[in-house]
Homo-oligomer: A and B are copies of this chain.
């Protein structure tokens, strides 16, 4: 037997792009069909975020072109903010590089999605990504690859080219499967149009326009504001980082300046609760004290809830309008819960319940999920919202009662706790689960009320018809008796009920 000395292993480090290159199924690029869908999704979300940043109603054109081989050329064009010349290479050619790390609601979050599409295109078709972008009065075209081992952009070509307006067009060529992905992409864009009702979305497949939806409203939602972290999200790492560069501040001023929902009074009370001197300089705190501050910040009850201004919910009117426009439901009703909180991050849950021929029949309503206005089409069964839906006794709300139902539920937060880098399902967290249950029950009650009202109105219409018939007979009979023309009696009866039937 050889000794352990002879068996030492080789150790090495890999770059994040190498990690996702090796594990691409984790980011939603596991097979050609899924990769086709994910590429569209990542590019469209980037575009929508860029339009919101620009404060413009988004107009997004997606174009898919099949080729002789199994390759698909995917191109997404937006009227967004555009990218500054010198940020293009890193934004498209470096994994975990991006602009979306601040605390406010955004679709994208990771600096991962678009670079994954670039990486996947490169390894399957050996083609560079092509970016045409303009952020001021000059436009640029880039063709670039990713140096995967070192996680760096490799620019093949860059040149000046003006665009008709600011915005960005990104084109990638991937090994794809359009026949299997096409209906998902169509679903995705339709649902996106519900969650972003101020956008116009166009899909062209091989130069034929197959979808052109929205905008359903002219009103742009207010832009969510960047927020400071909430104290209950302050793990030791965050506390240490926020303290860096504030060594000379007093503990009190540090707390007020670094966190939301901490004013002078709250800060004083908190520090008294901690048992520290509020004039202690941050730089003088020991490691143990810093660790204690973090653990008390996380558990202290008296901070107000996190600020909802960093969120951008869809809103009652816009949400209903989108569902109405696309599904033409018979009944529909809206409810919302929040702002609530998970681990110091604010969130809002909104939902629309609707019934009509557009939905499939089932024991419970069909669920359509959104996170930060992004439709989630995969991994439904592991999502906490799906699990909550299944816990509701729908029969109590008269569902199903012959008609099929759908529920659109939108979760928004400064941070979405996705279960995986493919961003398809929300992780199991108690706060979200109980908010989900409350929302679904509220939607159930809304549906029950509407169906009852509808039943009542049907009943009263029926009674009206009966009364009208009886009255007509009485009128005729009386007219006969009085030897009056019976036609006059008919008109009288008809006039009495005018406007009640429709």
Residue positions of A touching B, CB distance < 8 A: 1-2, 4-5, 7-16, 18-19, 21-23, 25-26, 30-31, 53-55, 81-82, 84, 87, 90-91, 94, 96-99, 101-102, 110-112, 122-126, 135-136, 148-149, 166, 235-237, 241, 287, 290-291, 294, 379, 381-382, 415, 417-422, 427-429
Contacts and interface: CB of A to CB of B under 8 A. Distances in A.
Contacts of A135: 4-5, 8
Given A91-B11, A382-B382, A25 B99 contact: no
Given A15-B96, A427-B25, A291 B421 contact: no
A46 to B, nearest CB: 12
A498 B294 CA distance: 78
B7 A111 contact: no
Contacts of A22: 415
Contacts of A12: 97-99, 101
B428 A9 contact: no
Contacts of A13: 90, 94, 96-97, 111
Contacts of A124: 235-236
A421 B123 contact: no
A53 B490 CA distance: 99
Contacts of A126: 236, 287, 290-291, 294
Contacts of A18: 96
10 contacts: A9-B81, A11-B87, A11-B97, A15-B96, A26-B421, A30-B429, A31-B428, A122-B237, A123-B237, A126-B290
Nearest to A238: B123
Give the number of times this chain occurs in the complex, counting copies.
2
Nearest to A18: B96
A414 to B, nearest CB: 12
A14 B112 CA distance: 11
Contacts of A422: 419-420
A155 to B, nearest CB: 15
Nearest to A244: B149
A241 to B, nearest CB: 8
Nearest to A71: B295
Nearest to A135: B4
Given A16-B16, A111-B14, A381-B381, A7 B97 contact: no
Contacts of A123: 235-237
Contacts of A98: 11-12
A399 to B, nearest CB: 23
Contact of A236 (B1, B122, B379): B122
